[in-house]
Amino acid sequence: MTMTGIADDLTADSTAPDLRTALPGPNASAIIARDEAVTSPSLTRVYPLAVRRGRGCVIEDVDGNRFLDFNAGIAVVAAGHAHPDVNAAIHAQVDDVLHYCSSDFYLPAYADVSERLARLAPISGETRTFLSNSGTEAVEAALKLARHHTGRPNAIAFLGGFHGRSLGSLSLTASKSRQRSGFGALTPGSYHAPYWNPHGETGLTGADYIDEVLFKKLTDPDDVAAIFVEPIQGEGGYIVPPAGWLAALRDLCDRHGILLVVDEVQSGIGRTGTMWACEHDGVEPDILCVGKGLASGLPLAGIVARADVMDWEPGGHGSTFGGNPVACAAASATLELVEQGLADNAAKVGAHLLSALTELATQLPFLEQVRGRGLMIGIDAPDHDAAEALQEACFRRGLLTLTCGERSVRLAPPLVVTIEQADTAVSIIGDAAASL
């Protein structure tokens, strides 16, 4: 038994869902009351889940209720909760050294993960890596590097895109106006184009809109340092652009000497069935942003760039904690697992999930559209409130999901998810949708 009196018997194979109290249970209710008295009101707690521990795709709350985790908190825990290889790497590094600022000194764990990223990045030729703590810092680094390398001031991103919440990355984010409200003025020289769905007035999308509208009316292409794009929009609704869309952007960048920054913070590290989502389109970025799943839950993110692009001088950029050795050790273990089979599992279970949900949607009109790639799957409900109701109904049945976009529920389980767990999730979603 543990301090909380809950039997320490949770494994990745434990049955889930297994709900033992009303939700929230007494311990969760007490924690929520304490939390809400002292934490930032900006935190959007979506349902009353108070997490105690996790194994594989199973989360146990503080009352001993077990949930099937299709969030991976959020698209982060690539190798699953408490993967033995990742935990062993963390423990070994903890016993050696916790921290020794990687910006100022050499750490083997930093070199290890950078070598792996150099080998795995979807960029031919020599690359360089800079590691940070969070996705938003990776995007900030990409923005600074793009300006520094090109000497140009402006950047273009896409409507519906999410790149983070610090002021530079927030200037590129165009996911929900609430995220920008009251925080202006943002970084000057940030422009937005429609993602793949054509813009109402012009009928144009992506590269065509940038060429025809932005370059003619708002910014000379010679003033644009970079175009920032998610190969699949994440927070914007798990939107997958059609084949060729990303390649057209690459071509536009090449024509104007603009850097293509592919933000794979959410879509990378095997989530879509390949190491990087842009590999599905055969498109190479100049700068790749990584984060979330990289260290399976420890804070690590960064950029991998063409070596000739990463030409800033010593002192030009750095971070006290970025590339922390414990996080780097977790990242090397995670990348090994993703390479050795988890990306393949994401492709296999993702295809199964997509086809089962597509079939389910033919029986339940509430599920208006199902789309995605690998284990990055979005389900459209009729409207925003309906999506939230579906998310809540799944939670009440022991399945953890999260809304995204205007009216979607996203499924982003750990990459170790099994076919059986996918089937359980489909049956809960069916039951939840039928109840609404």
Q: Is 265 in the site for ligand PLP (CB under 6 A)?
A: yes
| Distance in angstroms (rounded) separating the CA atoms of residues 112 and 99 | 16
Residues 279-298 as x/- pattern, contact with ligand PLP by CB under 6 A: ------------x-------
Query: Please, which residues have CB within 8 angstroms of residue 301's CB and are 6 or more apart in sequence?
Result: 131, 132, 133, 134, 135, 137, 138, 265, 289, 290, 291, 292, 294
Is residue 266 involved in binding ligand PLP (CB under 6 A)? Answer: yes
Work out how close the CB of 290 gets to ligand PLP at its nearest, in angstroms, rounded to a whole number.
Answer: 10
- Amino acid at the residue 337: L
Which residue, 164 or 372, has its beta carbon nearer to ligand PLP?
Answer: 164
Residue 410 binds to ligand PLP (criterion: CB under 6 A): no
How many residues form the binding site for ligand PLP (CB under 6 A)? 15
Q: Which is nearer to ligand PLP, 7 or 43 (CB)?
A: 43
Q: Is 268 near ligand PLP (CB under 6 A)?
A: no
In whole angstroms, the minimum distance from the beta carbon of 75 to ligand PLP comes to 7
Q: Tokens 């109402």 correspond to what residue?
A: 200
Shortest distance, CB of residue 33 to ligand PLP, whole angstroms? 27
Tell me: does residue 134 bind ligand PLP (CB under 6 A): yes
Range 373-412 burial, b when 16+ CB lie within 10 A, else e: bbbbbbbbbeeeebbbbbbbbbbebbbbbbbbbebbbbbb
Which among 374, 364, 360 has a CA at the least distance from the CA of 411? 374
Instruction: Identify the CA nearest to 431 among candidates 379, 393, 383.
Output: 393
55 interacts with ligand PLP by CB under 6 A: no
Tokens 């939230």 appear where?
A: 388
The reply to whether 135 sits near ligand PLP by the rule CB under 6 A is: yes
Of 10 and 79, CB closest to ligand PLP = 79
Helices (H), ranges, 224-341: 245-256, 325-337
- What is the sign of the dihedral through the CA atoms of 206, 209, 212 and 213? negative
Compose the 214-253 pattern: x for residues touching ligand PLP by CB under 6 A, - for all others.
Answer: ----------------x---xx------------------
Q: Is 139 a binder of ligand PLP (CB under 6 A)?
A: yes
**Closer residue to ligand PLP, CB minimum distance, 171 or 266:** 266
What's the closest the beta carbon of residue 94 comes to ligand PLP, in angstroms?
A: 22
**How far, rounded to the nearest angstrom, does the alpha carbon of residue 246 sit from its chain's CA centroid?**
18
195 contributes a contact to ligand PLP by CB under 6 A? no
Residue 290 sits at φ, ψ, to 5 deg, of: -125, 160
The residues of the shown chain that bind ligand PLP, judged by CB under 6 A, are 134-136, 139, 162-164, 230, 234-235, 263, 265-266, 291, 301
